């Protein structure tokens, strides 16, 4: 174990994150590694808590991916319409 739990009752998530952290990523799923990136152990409280900057970074990356997907989808739609001879101003 890499963490000391201050109580005899702890959540399964805390135990799982502690095991993944102690194993240096050799055990656990990709989801556990993402959770471990977003949550860090706070020794003052004795629990895992959210790391705000990592959550903001993850939100920023997700926003960029979504905007990139939107732009790519709109460009593909525009090319498909141009090949079909139609356009936004062409008569029907």
pLDDT value at 5 more than 80 = no
CA distance 5 to 61: 33
* pLDDT, tens digit, 9 for 90 and up, residues 47-62: 677 777 777 888 999 9
For residue 4, what pLDDT is reported? 62
From residue 40, give the alpha-carbon distance in Å to each of 20, 30, 48, 55.
Answer: 12, 16, 5, 11
Give residue for tokens 């356009």: 87
Rounded mean pLDDT, 27-48: 70
Domain residue limits, the chain: 12-50, 52-85
Between helices 30-38 and 52-83, what is the axis angle to 10°? 120
Residue 69 near residue 75, CB atoms below 8 Å? no
């Amino acid at each position: 174990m890499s963490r000391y739990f201050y109580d005899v009752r702890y959540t399964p998530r805390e135990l799982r994150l502690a095991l993944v952290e102690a194993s240096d990523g050799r055990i656990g799923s990709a989801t556990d590694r993402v959770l471990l990136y977003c949550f860090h152990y706070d020794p003052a409280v004795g629990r895992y808590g959210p790391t705000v900057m990592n959550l903001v970074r993850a939100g920023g990356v997700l926003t960029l991916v979504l905007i990139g997907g939107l732009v790519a989808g709109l460009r593909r739609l525009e090319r498909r319409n141009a090949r079909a001879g139609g356009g936004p101003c062409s008569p029907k």
